[in-house]
Amino acid sequence: MDARSGPGERAGGADGPARRSLWRATGPLDPRILVIGLLLLCVLIGLVAVASRGGVETDLTERAADQLEAIGESWAVARLAGRDATVHGEALAQEARDKVLRAVASLSGVRSVTDATTLLPERRPFTFSLVRDGPVLQMEGYVPSRYALARIAEAVKSLPPGVTARGVDKLVRARGAPAGDFSAVVAFALDALSRLPSGRVTLSDDSFAIEGRAPDLSTYDQLLQTLHAPLPQGFRLARFAVRPPVVSPYVWSAARNGDSIQLKGYVPSDEARQQVLDILHGAMPNAGVADGTVLGDGAPATDRWLRAVRYLTTQLAILPRGQVGLSDTSLTIEGAAGSFAIYDALAAARRTPPEGFQVSRFAIEPPQVAPFVWRIWRQGPTVRLTGYAPGEEARRIMGDAVKALFAGGQVSDQVRLASGGPPAEAWTAAVTYAIAQVSRMASGEATVLGSTLTLTGEAVDSASFATLSEALKSPPAGVKLDAARVLPPVISPYVFAVRSDETGVTVSGFYPDETTHDAVKAGIAQLFPGARVTDVAAVGAGAPAGFLDAVIAGLGPLARLETGDLRFSDGQVTLIGTGRYAGAEPLVTADFKAVLPKGFSGETEIEPPPPAVPVGAAECTRLLTDAAARGLAFDAGGRPTPVSRATVDHMVQVAQRCPALVLQPAPGSTLPGPVAQARGAALRAALVAAGVPDHHVQWEPDAPEPLPGAPALSVAGVRIVVRAAE
């Protein structure tokens, strides 16, 4: 045995042949068995790795979060996939970004680090604003992170009930915020602004500005103290524009009774109070002042406010008894002026208040006057107003009426305010009524004295006079009206005309008064029965004496014409027209000139009518009936009256076209025989005189009765029988 051989070798030497014998018996190992074994081993290793991976990721995630919080960069989040880390988040600076990546990479067990962070845009200045308007609070601006945004959203929930915050979802993340907890500053600003009904907070980098008005002095004092103390996160107060509560209206007044003055209201400061007292003592050195004013905010600028006080004190100094007041920028002056000089001085001052102020009430009672009279005078475009008015409003109404009714006129207003007159309403009613009437006059005057109104003058034209006359029927209540000398316009030459034709009667021109007008219309109705009358005449002064008599006289001859015009021009009267029958012209002309009264001269231009066309007995009877229907009357002597001349002319016009006529007493007439005979003879004579042939019309009282149904008519007790043509 070899000394270098160990026991094993010796043993191996002993059983080696056996092993070799076994190898030879089984052969080499199958490769498939090796592959299956390797696969099973891999599966086992994988199961072990999967089982342990979850624990590794959780451990690394927790350690990464702890590490990021420890270095103050909690904005970043590390997500692990096995031992591979991916960092997410919005970095405020590149330095913070690098710091986070290094911290995660330094963790034991982390194999790799992937940077998925983003760098927010930088904003300079970094601004944030809060604006409150009642129940709405609006936010705008930048926040440094989602964390800050979440903190701000949480702080909004602490706002008072009823306040709604808007704009949280529109805040923009950005870099550039000042160091520290930005959301804490915003929460502080929300708390401050929630105490104001309206206002604004502005953050710009590290500056803090606030403005608004406190609802009360307690809130104002709290905000003043809080915001002038150190602010959160090292912010500094850039502007404190919160104003104390406003006294509204901001009033001040001074009432004087002789040498005693009482002050009430507010003053903006103690210094202003002393200046007010100095102003009063300077203007009224002997007056005693009882100061009841208190401090209050809300006045105009102090220097402007003091100018207003000085202005009011100057007015109070000339009023032995009165009161002046200031309410915001409105001034009041009240009292009684002892003379027109004092009143004029106060009225002049009223027109020149301090800049930025206005006199809203000027209740100065003017001096007393007697008699209290007012007058308006007009001559063409020139108008003059004198006398007194009882108040400013009454005078304004008067002035407005004058401007409206005398537009373009030359108006001189010398009316003064005075006391001692009628009530303003009664005076205003009387004066505006008087102005309206004078505006309708070419020249005239109105005087108001107490409750009496006197009107005199001449109307501009007939239409104005008609309107004026109607207005004079209803003066204002309580006014005693004297308008006896109100005259219509003077017309020269004085023209008047009446036209008669187939369409009716037209009246034009002028008449002096309604009595004359009514008489003319009555005369037309009598002489032109049933005619349509068109009346365009107007009233006008200047008619010649006897005008009505001349018109009534001229209407008779006009009615005797087929068509005609009766024209007046002062005392000259012209009758133009067409006669009803041949031969009418001399008769109508003689009648016309005979009836005109003294002072009137007449001319005629009367044309004959065209030749008449004969008619039969039946038509003749109808036409005679129509003519007689106009009215036929006889005087005591049995002759046709002058008013009936037109009717006779109508009958002549018809008779010249008719067969022979027989006149006889009307059957059944109650007239005595001699009267009936006189009327029949007179009617025949009138017809013959007018041109009806003598043999064509006969008076036959004893003629036999006409046959029943024969053409005939009765008028005024006379029967007219139309004989049929042979």
Return the CATH class of domain 373-487.
alpha beta
Q: Which pair of structure tokens corresponds to residue 229?
A: 């103390």
Residues with Cβ within 8 Å of 415's Cβ and at least 6 positions away in sequence, in order, are: 374, 385, 386, 387, 388, 389, 395, 398
pLDDT tens digit sequence for 313-335:
999 999 999 999 999 999 999 99
Domain 251-365, classified CATH 3.65.10.10, yes or no: no
User: In this model, does residue 310 exceed pLDDT 90?
Assistant: yes
Decide which of 2.70.98, 3.40.50, 3.30.1330, 3.40.1710 is the CATH code for 617-722: 3.30.1330
Q: Flag whether pLDDT at 123 surpasses 70.
A: yes
> Domain 495-607 belongs to what topology?
hypothetical protein tt1634 (3.40.1520)
Measured from the Cβ of residue 6, the count of other Cβ atoms closer than 10 Å reads: 10
Q: Which residues contact 706 (CB under 8 A, 6 or more apart)?
A: 712, 721
Same CATH topology for 373-487 and 495-607: the answer is yes
For 478-499, the pLDDT digits (tens) are: 999 999 999 999 999 999 999 9
More confident residue, 6 or 332: 332
- 513, 528 contact by CB (below 8 A): no
DSSP 146-162: HHHHHHHHHHHTTSPTT
Query: Which class is domain 57-119?
Result: alpha beta
Q: Identify which of 238-247, 263-272, 598-607 has the greatest average pLDDT.
A: 598-607
Residue 29 pLDDT > 70: no
Q: Which residue has the higher pLDDT, 372 or 583?
A: 372
Token couple for 313: 């004190």
Q: What is the pLDDT of residues 177-203, one digit of tens each?
A: 999 999 999 999 999 999 999 999 999
How far is Cα 283 from Cα 304, in angstroms, rounded to an integer?
19
CATH class of 127-243: alpha beta
pTM over 0.85: no
Locate the domains of the chain by residue range: 57-119, 127-243, 251-365, 373-487, 495-607, 617-722
8 Å CB contact between 391 and 424 = yes
Cα separation, 507 vs 521, in Å, equals: 9
Would you state the pLDDT for residue 44? 67
Confidence of residue 9 (pLDDT cuts 50, 70, 90): very low
Kindly report, residue by residue over 205-249, the tens digit of the pLDDT: 999 999 998 888 788 879 989 999 999 999 999 999 888 778 889
Residue 680 confidence (pLDDT) = 86
Strands 251-257 and 84-91: unpaired
